[in-house]
A = this chain, B = another copy of it.
Amino acid sequence: MNPKRYLPILQWLPQYGRATLTSDLLAAVIVTIMLIPQSLAYAMLAGLPPEVGLYASIAPLVVYAVFGTSRTLAVGPVAVVSLMTAAAVGQVAPQGTPEYLGAALVLALMSGLILTLMGVARLGFLANFLSHPVISGFITASGLIIAASQAKHVLGVEASGHNLLELVGSLVANLGGVNAPTLLIGVSVLVFLYAARRWLKPGLLGLGMPDRPADMLTKAAPILAVAVTTLATWALGLDARGVAVVGSVPAGLPPLTLPGVELDLWRELFMAALLISIIGFVESVSVGQTLAAKRRQRIDPDQELVGLGTSNIAASFTGGMPVTGGFARSVVNFDAGAETPAAGAFTAVGIAVAALLLTPLIAYLPIATLAATIIVAVLSLVDIGAVKRTWDYSRSDFAAMLATIVVTLGHGVESGILVGVGLSLALHLYRTSRPHSAVVGRVPGSEHFRNVQRHAVETDERLVILRVDESLYFANARYLEDTVMEIAARQPGLRHLVLACQAVNVIDASALESLEAINARLKDSAVSLHLAEVKGPVMDRLHNTEFCHELTGKVFLSTYDAWRALHEEGVSPSAGKACPEAHLASGK
């Protein structure tokens, strides 16, 4: 057992030097500035008090620095996971109650345990069953829901709903109650942030500022919006004129919390915790891998599970909420020059200082400002182009994506993912349940065999060579039976049928029985069954089976050998081997 594998901190801490320290500290300052408004906003999105967002950005970051394998991933509350948290916790407790806070802690703990266990059991591959179109559709739909759910804060009205239609309907119904100062603040921040995204960086570059500082300054725009609107609200007493503000936030370090262990609650939250874990993991790993590749580093997905899992466990014991690696902040961390996870730990220190000292200052922070920050952030997640590209490329991928979007918008986040995953698996299984196969003939004068329907090739009416283009398993084995029996029924002069198996990596027990059935039925019709180009590992398994002993024909090393022996019968009768003999020369 290699301790460096399970404690990745041992890979970089011993070599930690002054230059690295400087880089990491600089990155930490920049990420801290970016993370403060994000933490507050995403806690609000999850229906939690703002300080919970700060708490979730302290201990988890330190723990990730110990167990995580990405050098630059920035962990904390993120938009999609916060939305999922709100949806899950909202089903077990009303917002604003101690039960709601407690359920969020339980969710973080369960999600942490699930991730850690998956990592220990090396189950990271499970995330692969979320296809790209499903993830992309889910994130687009989540972005729309999040934006719609925050619109009420920008307008200063009440609204609620469990899906997009309800939300929009409720917003429209309550439009009469719009609070003018709130709307002014919300729209100003929206326009400012949008403009900053769109024009600030080009403008700064135009003024001769180098690329990196221009980028950093642009990313810091939200903190500027927070500062200005807070100050304005305080100075003009806007809170007395109906502008909702964050209010008093307790100053101090994260409290020690003990998540509850009621079995019923755990059962109710289990599916949500599982989906949050997997979605969070997928998001985190993709950004981690992208950044690592830029420096030719590698991350270990199974150890990443442990890193994220322990971070979530830490969050659950320090008054936090579910966290994962965020895309935007990780890119900022990377661009700001972070070299090791120590940058994350320094960020945690920065956030802790903020939690200790800055909380009195944010009492006058308008909620509309936070909502606008969220809207601008999540609308960049909405990717209509991806929908179009998927439509162009593959109709079945598009179907899975569309189902995910429609169900997420119309019914909810959990059912959206589950339907998307179910449909993409079903479509995949449907596709592989009809294995591609082709009757091939010999390209004249060569040892090559090609599809008789596409090429002018030699054939023989007593001999059919069927090339099987997929591994044989239960779902497609009977289809092969049908194909073979149809060929046999169609071609009355048939005497030999060869299955060319160069693309067959596996023959499972069901496919073996289908081969037995094919052999027996062809025998009843006086047709011999032969195999050609069977891969070594497949042949090793077939070796001692009944099928092998009862095979009416032979096993040939190559399709050409089969053709020579069966077409020009008598020319080289020894080319094929009877089945039970070892079949050494055809290793993969």
A positions within 8 Å CB-CB of B:
125, 127-134, 289-290, 293-294, 296-298, 301, 389-390, 392-394, 396-398, 424-425, 428-434, 436, 438, 450-451, 454-455, 469-471, 473-479, 481-482, 485-486, 488-489, 503, 505-506, 508-510, 512-514, 517, 520-521, 524-525, 541, 544-546, 587-588
Contact = CB atoms under 8 A, between A and B. Distances in A.
Q: Give the interface centre of A430, A474, A475, A545 by most chain B CB atoms within 10 Å.
A: A474
Given A125-B479, A393-B541, A521-B293, A131 B508 contact: yes
Given A131-B510, A454-B588, A298 B477 contact: no
B128 A479 contact: yes
A514 B298 CA distance: 16
Contact of A397 (B390, B510, B525): B510
A495 to B, nearest CB: 14
Contacts of A489: 296-298
Given A393-B541, A479-B125, A509-B393, A517 B298 contact: no
12 contacts: A125-B478, A128-B474, A128-B478, A129-B429, A131-B474, A131-B509, A133-B510, A289-B521, A296-B524, A393-B509, A394-B508, A398-B509
A128 B477 contact: yes
Contacts of A587: 450-451, 454-455
Q: Give the interface centre of A128, A297, A429, A471 by most chain B CB atoms within 10 Å.
A: A128
Given A129-B433, A389-B545, 4 more contacts: A131-B508, A132-B509, A289-B481, A293-B521
A132 B505 contact: no
A108 B298 CA distance: 59
A116 B450 CA distance: 40
Nearest to A514: B132
A397 B508 contact: yes
Nearest to A478: B128
Contacts of A454: 587-588
Nearest to A503: B503
Copies in the complex: 2
A505 B428 contact: no
Contacts of A438: 588
A486 B298 contact: yes
B517 A474 contact: no
Contact of A298 (B128, B485, B505, B545): B485
A433 B428 CA distance: 12
A286 to B, nearest CB: 8
Given A454-B588, A588-B438, A129 B475 contact: yes
Q: State the 3 A-B residue pairs at the shortest beta-carbon distance, nearest first.
A: A131-B474, A293-B521, A397-B509
Given A397-B509, A486-B298, A517-B290, A471 B470 contact: yes
Chain A interface mostly helix, strand, loop or mixed? Answer: helix
A141 to B, nearest CB: 17
Nearest to A473: B428
Nearest to A547: B393
Nearest to A510: B132
Contacts of A396: 508
Contact of A125 (B289, B434, B471): B434
Q: Give the interface centre of A488, A544, A588 by most chain B CB atoms within 10 Å.
A: A588
Contacts of A430: 125
A541 B541 CA distance: 36
A11 to B, nearest CB: 14
Contacts of A428: 473-475, 508
A298 B512 CA distance: 21
Nearest to A455: B587
A451 B588 CA distance: 7
Contacts of A431: 506
A431 B472 CA distance: 12
B469 A505 contact: yes
Contacts of A517: 289-290
A486 B503 CA distance: 25
A403 to B, nearest CB: 14
Contacts of A469: 503, 505, 588
Given A131-B509, A131-B510, A524-B294, A425 B429 contact: yes
Contacts of A127: 478
Contacts of A432: 471
Contact of A296 (B298, B481, B525): B525
A33 to B, nearest CB: 28
A530 to B, nearest CB: 18
B451 A293 contact: no
Contacts of A390: 509
A68 B564 CA distance: 43
Contacts of A424: 474
Contacts of A294: 521, 524
A47 B521 CA distance: 38
A250 to B, nearest CB: 43
Contacts of A488: 296
Q: Give the interface centre of A134, A436, A469, A509 by most chain B CB atoms within 10 Å.
A: A509
A475 B434 contact: no
B436 A485 contact: no
A64 to B, nearest CB: 21
Contacts of A397: 508-510
